[in-house]
Chains A and B, each alone.
Chain A
């Protein structure tokens, strides 16, 4: 219990901390409005050019609500890898490592603390914009079913990013790796184009990769909230989370011995 309340407090303090500059928080979240507007223009033209109401099983409305949630998940995420690499570079990791908590769980708690408000604001602004452009979602209740998958997506994202962040123990600067990951997530995660629009072979590959579990899965669940789909999304996600967690712990144990704390 005490262990849990430890990480819960870390989560809480990061949450409060993220409110230190409310203007910045809101300003950043407003970015989703032009994004959604551009998506709307783009896909409106695409749908009318194709002369179809439904492409790959999705209507224009579905597509936009899908993209709204995908953006919310993506934009809400804090730059975990960069934070960790900064911690290593400026030596502040010394303070993180000399407290009686698990380094990875600490990082996860702070990451979640930073995520919540950002994601909520993104969802509100993005949701209002999309509602105004294409109308209400087909299954508003889908958001409840998508919630566990959204959380899972953040866990998965954390695992991958923490792994990149940990490489800072050895290489110190990780921006190249985060860049590559981001682009892979754009393409295979379905952030710009729903995976359903891809050719069959690419779809099946992309849907299996972890990137889709981190974006496509939960976003798609929101627009088609069925029980069987929920199970398939969650089970794939869970498999990836478990596998990557184990890998992460191994990498962490190895990295720690390599660590050189800068400065002083």
Chain B
């Protein structure tokens, strides 16, 4: 991208999402947006030094675009869900043969509300985490957003389409990965599926090849492409799966449990690659998971669902600030510690010969006071301060939300 005119084309045309994802006031100069190996702030400063003239014009231009009322509004929202509901009817059967026979003649059905009046919005290019325990309604929501399931009530717009009406048109614009279900042809090498997808999404052969080259580099799967998928490890296969779902440059990626069953390294691999695709191509990512690590590593904003309803919705940083106020501190001293070690407002977890382990809430007890107390107690050799894992925080939110629900509701669907 060189020069203002090219950029103007990009902004006015298709990819408003990219510009917005980077931030509304990032200069539209040459090479804006984080490139590989250059952090975002460094990138901006290079631009500012090199092209001050361009900068002024581009600020002006952005101002004009942003103030044209309503014109670009729709392009900025990629998902809009209003009062979405899905109710499943499931047959109930008592245990044993008698129960089976009875259910033949007098079937009993129970209604399961998998999704209840769900409403939320997702901006273009956003990294949104959609988390909740098993059976919270995450997958059902994703399936409705891709148009596979028809909702019982409510409305949804994904990239301007109503998914269950324009499923095929929408399919060209979104990529999906269902972590528990492979989409690659199991007995064939991944490259075969990539080429097939190229055809299915109606790409030129040359374009497909270019895209495959790019994705194999981004996901580090060059050596895996020629191996039959069944011979890959789960982590390797998942990388291929996500790469395949990005082949047609979707604007929105829906990932349903992409890290399920993966080890720490494999998870990190996938997260890095997804992050990179978000930064380089501005693809929006809606990610369901019950792994808080995914959320912490990837998402800017989080929606926590339970029992088919939103129980919490905020920026991940706010979530941390609000709920991650507890600190765990482990201190080691040069001298022996007295047995009756205590600090006001601090919970002492363990007192050893040379060290103590304690926990306190920064909202109640100031960090300063605790630290000065600790250093006053002796010569500190080593200190470790840690946050409680995000899992705990989320579990707490689930519990709080769960206690407000009526008990005894079936949660078989998710």
* Residues of A participating in the B interface, judged by any CB pair closer than 8 Å: 2, 5-6, 8-10, 13, 16-17, 20-21, 91-95, 97-102, 256-257, 259-261, 263-264
Contacts and interface: CB of A to CB of B under 8 A. Distances in A.
Contacts of B180: 263-264
B367 to A, nearest CB: 43
Interface of B: 88, 139-140, 143, 146-150, 167-169, 171-172, 174, 176, 178, 180-181, 183, 185, 187-188, 192-193, 195-196, 199-202, 228, 256-257, 414
Given A13-B192, A94-B178, 11 more contacts: A17-B187, A95-B176, A97-B148, A98-B167, A98-B171, A99-B200, A100-B201, A259-B148, A259-B149, A261-B148, A264-B143
Contacts of A101: 168, 200
Contacts of B146: 94, 97-98
B181 A2 contact: no
14 contacts: A5-B199, A10-B200, A13-B192, A13-B193, A17-B185, A94-B143, A94-B146, A98-B148, A98-B176, A256-B150, A257-B150, A263-B180, A264-B140, A264-B181
Contacts, number: 84
A31 B192 CA distance: 31
Contacts of A5: 199
A127 to B, nearest CB: 29
B83 to A, nearest CB: 19
Contact of A264 (B88, B139, B147, B196): B139
- Chain B interface mostly: mixed
B202 A6 contact: yes
A10 B147 CA distance: 22
Contact of B187 (A20, A97, A257, A259): A20
Contact of B199 (A6, A16, A92, A97): A6
A17 B228 CA distance: 11
Contacts of A10: 196, 199-200
Contacts of A13: 185, 188, 192-193, 196
B178 A100 contact: no
A182 to B, nearest CB: 25
A209 to B, nearest CB: 33
A92 B181 contact: yes
6 tightest A-B contacts by CB?
A: A20-B187, A264-B139, A9-B199, A100-B171, A2-B202, A95-B183
B168 A100 contact: yes
Nearest to B174: A98
Contact of A98 (B140, B147, B187): B147
A7 to B, nearest CB: 9
Given A94-B143, A95-B181, A264 B171 contact: no
B201 A9 contact: no
Contacts of B192: 13, 16
B148 A99 contact: no
A136 B139 CA distance: 60
Contacts of A17: 185, 187-188
Nearest to B188: A17
A102 B200 CA distance: 11
A98 B201 CA distance: 12
Given A9-B195, A13-B192, A98-B148, A91 B181 contact: yes
Contacts of A2: 202
Contacts of A100: 168-169, 171-172, 200-202
A77 B25 CA distance: 61
A68 B255 CA distance: 50
B91 to A, nearest CB: 11
A260 B149 contact: yes
B195 A94 contact: no
Nearest to A12: B196
Contacts of B187: 17, 20-21
A216 to B, nearest CB: 35
Most-contacted residue by chain B among A8, A21, A93, A100 (CB, 10 A):
A100
A68 B171 CA distance: 44
Contacts of A94: 143, 146, 148, 178, 181
Nearest to B143: A261
A97 B172 CA distance: 12
A170 to B, nearest CB: 12
Nearest to A21: B187
Nearest to A91: B181
A20 B188 contact: yes
B185 to A, nearest CB: 6
Contacts of B196: 9-10, 13
B79 to A, nearest CB: 15
